[in-house]
Structures are given as C-alpha cells and as structure tokens.
Amino acid sequence: MRKNIVAGNWKMNKKFDEADDLINGILTELEETELGENTLMILCPPFPYLEMCSDYSNDSYFAVGAQNVNDNERGAYTGEISAEMLESMEIEYCIVGHSERRAYYGETDAMIARKVDRLLEHNIRPIVCCGEVLEEREANKQFDVVKRQITDGLFHLSAEQFGQIVIAYEPVWAIGTGKTATPAQAQEIHAFIRNLIAEKYGKQVADETSILYGGSCKPSNAKELFANPDVDGGLIGGASLQVEDFVNIAKAF
C-alpha cells in the first residue's frame, strides 16, 4: 500500500537555534500523539541543518530530506552539494525540480532527470515536483505541462527505479499565495498523473506511487485535500515552519 506522506519544505528559513526549536517542538508533539500507521513525516530543512535533523530523527519519528542536489557526481562545482554527500549523511529523500528552482535557477526537465539519476544511484528517494503556472492553468494547459514535466523528467527510468519516486503536484499559482487548488482540482490532476504512470509502468507501479499536493496546504484544508483517493499527502511550505500547523496537517489523514 502506498504511503501517506507529509513533507515539510522549510525553504530558506530559520536560523540554527530556531531550527533546533522547530525540530524539538515537532518531536515533542509526536511523542504525545501518534500519526496514522501509514503516515510518513519528512522534514526537509536547509542543508546546514540536515545533520541536526538526522540526529533527532534517530528515534524514527520522521525521515529527513534535502531540498536540492547537484546533477553532477562530484568535483569542481563550488557551493554545490552532491547525492554522494547526502547518502553519506544517511539522508533518505530529496526534493527535486521545485518550481522555485525551475523559475529562479533555470532548472530544466533534462537537468531534473539527471538529478533524479544521481539520487537513485545513491539510494535517495527523489520527491519530484511538477505543476503549472497561472497563465497555463487559465489556458487549460495544466495537463500538457504536467505531462511534459513527468515524461521528460522521469520516464527514462525503469519500473523498478520509478518505484522509488514520490511525486509532488504543486500548482505554482497556489504556492505561498494563500490560494489553494480546490479538492476537486487536486484530485483531477492527481488522477491524471496516476494514469500517466499506469500507461507507462502499469497499474501496480501507479498504485504504489505516492502523489502529494503542495500549495498553501494548511490544517484548515488538509483534511479535504487528503480525503481524495489520489491525493496521498502534501508538500508543505509555510505551514511546515510552525509546529502545531505542521503536526496537525500530518494528522489530517
């Protein structure tokens, strides 16, 4: 059975002591209330806090993910972080192709495909983001956009490799804007994505792939979103920076 996943994407937020407080706060909450048996929480802090986060995760209340990785194996790439480094720190997940990286750092589907390859070579599960911008939604192009992103970014993988992938559908117009896709809009495109995967890799692989929703997900709308059959959780930005909000979202299944 595919997992329900709530992943917190902290983006470029929190100083060291604030990060410590946030992780501690989440741990304290989790010690008091258990999440659903099939629910996995993943924290994706900025790189400098990965080790602290991993140390805390020893009690296995949550898994740890990075927010980005370089598409090269190693070498003269000043300021970059490799999949090999993440693996050596026992990081289990990594977000790839977030719309902010596509928009501000020129990430293409081809680059995202290479990042996915590096991660899989190092036994790290990619959380691969896709989603349309507002103009594309208004022109009813969301299906074409998402299909291109998934086909070009992921469909070079074998079925076995694809089994390691988590997808995050994040309509760009809903990220950090307070505008959320309606549960019906989310379900429609999640079902479309699952169908794409089924056509390429078969029903079993499609049924086992967790497809997360992202974009202004908060405690007040998480339940409605997660109640849809093809919405298997969320990639949470702003609301993952608050202990109570994040834990309440994780309890919304």
Task: Choose among 170, 157, 245: nearest CA to 215.
Answer: 170
Instruction: Output b/e per residue, 25-55; b: 16+ Cβ within 10 A.
Output: ebbebbeeeebeeebbbbbbbbeebbeebbe
Kindly state whether residue 5 participates in binding ligand PGA, applying the rule CB under 6 A: no
- Interface residues for ligand PGA in 109-128 (CB under 6 A)? none
Which residue from 230, 196, 231, 228 is spatially nearest to 214, judged by alpha carbons? 231
Residue 98 is a catalytic residue: yes
Q: What is d(CA 244, CA 246) in angstroms, rounded to the nearest whole number?
A: 5
CA-based nearest residue to 215, from 137, 99, 125? 99
CB of 23 to ligand PGA, least distance (A): 18
Total residues contacting ligand PGA by CB under 6 A comes to: 13
Alpha-carbon separation of residue 236 from 168, 207, 224 (angstroms): 10, 23, 15
Piece in contact with ligand PGA (CB under 6 A), picked from 47-55, 145-153, 169-177, 244-252: 169-177
Instruction: Select the residue interacting with ligand PGA from 83, 94, 154, 175 (CB under 6 A).
Output: 175
Q: Which of 22, 83, 186, 235 binds ligand PGA (CB under 6 A)?
A: 235
The smaller minimum CB distance to ligand PGA, of residues 103 and 159, is found at: 103
Q: Find out whether 206 and 195 touch, Cβ atoms under 8 Å.
A: yes
- For the record, the structure tokens of 150 come out as 């998934």
Residues between 176 and 205 with contacts to ligand PGA, criterion CB under 6 A: 176
Select the residue interacting with ligand PGA from 237, 248, 252, 253 (CB under 6 A): 237
Q: Among all residues, whose Cβ is closest to ligand PGA?
A: 237
Residues taking part in catalysis: 98, 170
Binding site for ligand PGA (CB under 6 A): 9, 170, 175-176, 214-217, 235-239
